[in-house]
Amino acid sequence: MAAANAGPLLETDDEISIAGGIFYFARLFGRELSEVIDAHYAEIAPDWFSRIKQNRIENAEPNYDDPADVRFLLSEAVGARSAVGDAIPKFDLRWRNQADALRRKLNNWFHNSLEPNIDTYLLLIGMIRELAAQSGLPLTQSIVAAEQRAKGIKSKAYVPQGSSPAPATTARPALAPEDADAAKKVVEKVKLIEKRPPIGGEWTGPHGARKIRISRQTRDVTENGISIRNLLGEDPDAVVDAWLRYLPEHQSGEARIADDGAVMAFKRGQAYLIGWLGEEPKPATATNGGLQGFALPYAYIFTGTDVREITSSRLLSKSAPESTKHLIAELSKRMTAEQLFEATEYGELFVTDENGVPDVLATVHKGVWFPGHLPG
């Protein structure tokens, strides 16, 4: 049944293929898991899903309509009192711990908090493959092939087939409409970010015709030699400071203003957004989730008096270029000591609940954050 087991293989690392592939394997994993549970309980509890639903209602827990929803199944497998684990082949403590990690990551993914790139693909696909292989699910073969292909693309060892019609050796399924829709939403978010990047991020829109100069010496902004401080809002000094934070130091303060007020400077030939003239446009509503950006590949712990980056163990107070006193005070109001949180490239510091719903705690700029973590 090679054709039945064949999953989509990436040809390139474009966002739509990556997002579609992740949704495809997540759904397939859920479907195959639900089939083995169905088979296990066929005799003794064919209504297992209804029973769990009822139980969740009684315990005021989030509910699901689909017994093959992977987030539902993983949440049940991780839960101490659920019988779902008993039905999963070779279910053990390792399976359970890995399922918990996968559940958290998939929750982030389904809430569009993870960027659809090759690293995210390999991470999620790899986690699914581990569990599928341990339980001997049919999708293992196709997910291993998908993972190998993605690794080949990442290392540039795989050369795309291009438009030349290569004979198909194995039937590859088209994405289901729900996977295609979900992938489209993730890609829409990518496009929104491209259109309105975070401060310090690459600006890909028109450069704008207005030329200004931001002076470190006079803390003034001039256009044709005339000060435009009166256009900088109620606190022009704060605006100038914010712009200078992102302006390359060795350059003479030249910047451009686009029609929508985006202020940009150039570094190594690339335009970067350094701020906005006048009112900053309202953030575009993030699709299917409350975050404007995607999660950065870092995790942080609030210590109660500081923030520690987990991998490096660096403390924010000793790393950030500017004082972090106000930020720590702000976080203290919202967090408990030793609480984990994440950040997006927009500087949104957030925690997620059990279902992956993000809650933004504060928004920071690069001056009060770990160097190199935020754009600019």
Q: Interface with another protein by CB under 8 A: which residues? A: 207, 250-252, 254, 256, 266, 268-271
Residues of 297-320 as b/e, b for ≥16 C-beta within 10 angstroms? Answer: eeebbbbeeebbbeeeeebbbebb
Q: Assess contact for 299 and 310: CB atoms under 8 A.
A: yes
Identify which of residues 222 and 317 has a Cβ nearer to another protein in the complex. 222
Identify which of residues 71 and 256 has a Cβ nearer to another protein in the complex. 256
Q: Is 79 helix (H, G, I), strand (E, B) or coil?
A: coil
Identify which of residues 20 and 253 has a Cβ nearer to another protein in the complex. 253
Of the candidates 98, 101, 91, 1, the one whose C-alpha atom is nearest the C-alpha of residue 40 is 91
Edge-to-edge strand order for the sheet containing 262-267? Answer: 226-227, 221-223, 210-214, 254-257, 262-267, 270-276
We find the least distance from the C-beta atom of residue 240 to another protein, in angstroms, to be 20
Identify which of residues 88 and 255 has a Cβ nearer to another protein in the complex. 255
We find the least distance from the C-beta atom of residue 266 to another protein, in angstroms, to be 4
Distance CA 12, CA 268 (A): 27
Identify the H or E element spanning 227: strand 226-227
List the helix and strand counts (H, then E) for the chain.
Answer: 12, 11
We find the least distance from the C-beta atom of residue 209 to another protein, in angstroms, to be 10
We find the least distance from the C-beta atom of residue 213 to another protein, in angstroms, to be 9
Identify which of residues 202 and 322 has a Cβ nearer to another protein in the complex. 202
We find the least distance from the C-beta atom of residue 220 to another protein, in angstroms, to be 17
